[in-house]
Structure 1
């Protein structure tokens, strides 16, 4: 969560009790509606799991189906100071065996309280066992980080140290295409009023992937050897300009967002999607996450029009951009021009509306679409086989411990950070990388310190067996340290060295040492501000390859 100066906003504190009750009822209905709606959208992921089946002889490589599920849940909490709060979370959990799952997820408020912009992420270990008929029991534990507040100063008390924990247990029912149930959950953030035991409603749907070994990266699969998805999957990356309409918060300017979206088609033209947007200008680290349903209209072989409706959570701190409890409604249209080999240029326009706050916004954006799989039209019109190529991916999850932080003339305590880095193999030696790291302790009293980087890496084997691999990488990015624009340190450079020790085909131990230095004093972006620290990281890597169109 980026920290900025904020001015208080006067609010009507004399609402009649019946009005408060009506609003609370409405908010609860919206939260449950979101849970059911998004859960039903996720049910369609079962189709994706069924489509991504195997038709490959055993001697053609280590192609396998990785089973997992999406889990969407909702909890309404009472803060220790008596206020209202809620959290909706979405997790992707991989199956480890018949009863154990592990994975990562994110959570944000929807309909209770006044903390739009609160956001968090966690790692989860989940156990589930069928007991009788279609009934099952489940339990789990999550550890992560979360931060936000109604104002900058409120972050200190509301988010505490930022270290998040959740433990839950309950029962569920397996329907034909999805599961649902109820848990009792204990949710807390260290030194925060978020500390309550609550009823937790959940929906689950299977979602499996076809993957290959990491060593298969670059291998081509012919149409006769690989049963590809029957409908498209699209990854979209773009830059969105958000213009506020009559803002009431202390920040009244425009906001630039980096937008990442994954869309899965269930028919030739109907799709569901999930998107995450992050602020890069105006309000750095403004965040929103949302999912929904859309439809494509084919105007010509190269021109497509997409219309979609998203529901989710959005904001920064509430008195800076007033999204109220965070609930977001976001209709958007996108025009796409296809170049070649599944790459398309896009122009989008939309309207973002926070019904429990005053935030109203127009958006326009430019971006790129990458079609991971072939469309029905391409398959119908193809004169030959449509091959797929395995693309190597590493998911690295690790803890980073920094040295003391040198920031603008004085040292601060070290940070304990949780980092997630994705590596995408460009060839045998080089890879592109993106990393996100969030602190699990407060920085100068503020929870939720975060960093984000992108860059390139070089790797090679360090042993004859190939189990040890060394790498060097150079990344650039930024952090959310500034309490105002005058405190920003500008871009950061992050060189690092590390090793992987391969345990088996999928898992390896991951280690890293590096240093972070601000560039603003050299580029003139922030000539009077300085940032410097060193860090060491240790964790695990999950290695695999994914088929995508050649």
Structure 2
């Protein structure tokens, strides 16, 4: 009898402990309101040059009912400056006049340039004052804007601008909850019991075999990333960015926005994706005229394990009149995420059993390159500054994969840009939960602005520290070293910025 009693007691205790482990209190769910924006302005260029068509892609977080802040990238799509790109930060206010009519006043500060344009060091401001109308599922705005490349640049212009804004919100919990795990049954009676959203991230190498125009019969080797977000089971939209690291003079990059169709095969282990994108590209002496490019592509993906696939893509990249054209062949790794809910929306035949909160950081920072080497003869060096956007996705509680893009904004190197990826490790917080440290190694494509990067391949190790401002914001500071393969760039750098971090629900 005593043995049976002990046995039953142990079974009950074990059952309770398992339930406690999986049935732990779910983290508080918060909705971060945000919106994406695509805008266009036609910039008057100096010396009677043809206007430069400038289009931007932005994402902004709503800070409250009337203000917002975020980041965006611009690229030339008409004129003669194909390859002219910038990166910057946004801030603004939106005030309702009527239920649907509103005023949008904002400010954009950034850096960049390219295509031998008179961009000086690259720093510029772009304020706007627009009138907008809310059509429920999207908004449109139009109005006045002013642009000034004020660091010894000659580009200054007043112009009309138009924009489309689309609501894009997401669910978050505290960053400290990353890697917390649950079984789905424990989430059925919570606010997480809603339909999930599917996204994916592809990191790839892409080869352009040039068939017409600059570098005909040569191969331009690119590295970059692609982000997909699904509207339903088969239709998705994507944003893609690449930079050259071999085959031509450093400085080429492209950015595309588009949509695609996803077909499932082989019990969801094989995917075929057909995509079409439009965007901007150029630099590195690749003549894309005004910079507007089209990008049709077909990809085949094969599942390796869990949500990781290997991808092969084949397509074309060209100007609409085929002044420059190339065939494309790429290889990469893709990671799929079903997020923000426990009910699958994309693959109806797939069932999920577990949920885990994954950490994400978005960092805007200002870099200082000490005595950055130039291509000029005589070993000319000068300090260079750049604005950078880095995204960290945590693979576990401490290790993250990182992607970063940067554009020069002071130091007479306005056309310089970077697109790099890598890995990092970040510690737990200490000093009363206020401080953490990190070490990371990034590498990829860089060039332009007269900076000596050879054919464009760089490596950047660094260490740094995060200090807590709020639950979602840290001050982030780092120092490191940058080395170009085949170029003279080899020096220390420092940076300081803001780290916005949170965790999101991922199911599998």
TM over 0.5: yes
1:204 matches 2:165: yes
Correspondence list, 1:21-40, <5 A: none
Aligned to 1:502: 468
Correspondence list, 1:183-202, <5 A: 183-190=143-150, 191-202=152-163
Does structure 2 retain, via aligned residues, the 8 Å contact 1:474–1:495? Answer: yes
Aligned to 2:234: 269
Correspondence list, 1:412-423, <5 A: 412-423=381-392
Aligned to 1:299: 265
Distance 1:476 1:273, change over 3 A: closer
Q: Number of paired residues?
A: 471
Aligned to 2:14: none
Does structure 2 retain, via aligned residues, the 8 Å contact 1:407–1:532? Answer: no
Shift of 1:75: 0.8
Aligned to 1:61: 27
Aligned to 2:9: none
1:177 matches 2:137: yes
Aligned to 1:279: 244
Aligned to 1:120: 86
Aligned to 1:220: 181
Does structure 1 retain, via aligned residues, the 8 Å contact 2:73–2:88? Answer: yes
Separation in structure 2 between the aligned mates of residue 245 and residue 491 of structure 1, nearest angstrom: 24
Which deviations, in whole Å up to 9, do the C-alpha atoms of 1:477-524 show, x marking residues without a partner?
A: 453269699x72875443433221112210111112223345x4xxxx
SS state at 1:123 partner: strand
Distance 1:386 1:144, change over 3 A: same
Aligned to 1:162: 122
SS state at 2:353 partner: coil
Aligned to 1:328: 293
Separation in structure 1 between the aligned mates of residue 464 and residue 101 of structure 2, nearest angstrom: 46
Larger displacement relative to structure 2 (255-264 or 218-227): 218-227
Aligned to 1:10: none
Shift of 1:66: 0.7
Q: More helix per residue: 1 or 2? A: 1
Distance 1:506 1:139, change over 3 A: same
Aligned to 1:315: 282
Aligned to 2:435: 468
- 2:361 is matched with which residue: 367, 388, 394? 394
SS state at 2:478 partner: strand
1:86 matches 2:46: no
1:436 matches 2:410: no
Aligned to 1:410: 379
Separation in structure 2 between the aligned mates of residue 270 and residue 458 of structure 1, nearest angstrom: 35
Shift of 1:231: 4.9
Distance 1:460 1:87, change over 3 A: same
Distance 1:118 1:252, change over 3 A: farther
Aligned to 2:113: 147
Does structure 1 retain, via aligned residues, the 8 Å contact 2:88–2:387? Answer: no
Shift of 1:341: 1.7
Distance 1:212 1:196, change over 3 A: same
SS state at 1:536 partner: strand
Distance 1:512 1:333, change over 3 A: same
Shift of 1:369: 2.4
Which deviations, in whole Å up to 9, do the C-alpha atoms of 1:67-107 show, x marking residues without a partner?
A: 10011111112213222111111110001011110000111
Shift of 1:379: 4.2
Separation in structure 2 between the aligned mates of residue 545 and residue 501 of structure 1, nearest angstrom: 18
Separation in structure 2 between the aligned mates of residue 101 and residue 62 of structure 1, nearest angstrom: 23
SS state at 2:179 partner: coil
C-alpha RMSD of matched pairs (Å): 2.7
Does structure 2 retain, via aligned residues, the 8 Å contact 1:481–1:488? Answer: no
SS state at 1:414 partner: strand
Does structure 2 retain, via aligned residues, the 8 Å contact 1:237–1:259? Answer: yes
Separation in structure 2 between the aligned mates of residue 484 and residue 132 of structure 1, nearest angstrom: 51
1:539 matches 2:470: no
Gaps of 5+ in 1: 1-56, 150-154, 521-525
Separation in structure 1 between the aligned mates of residue 87 and residue 302 of structure 2, nearest angstrom: 35
Distance 1:121 1:457, change over 3 A: same
SS state at 1:215 partner: helix
Distance 1:113 1:344, change over 3 A: same
Separation in structure 1 between the aligned mates of residue 479 and residue 276 of structure 2, nearest angstrom: 43
Shift of 1:466: 1.9
Does structure 2 retain, via aligned residues, the 8 Å contact 1:379–1:386? Answer: no
Does structure 2 retain, via aligned residues, the 8 Å contact 1:240–1:256? Answer: yes
Q: TM-score, normalised by structure 1?
A: 0.79
Does structure 1 retain, via aligned residues, the 8 Å contact 2:374–2:450? Answer: no
Distance 1:229 1:261, change over 3 A: farther
SS state at 2:137 partner: coil
Distance 1:233 1:430, change over 3 A: closer
Shift of 1:461: 5.2
Q: More strand per residue: 1 or 2? A: 2
Q: TM-score, normalised by structure 2?
A: 0.85
Aligned to 2:17: none
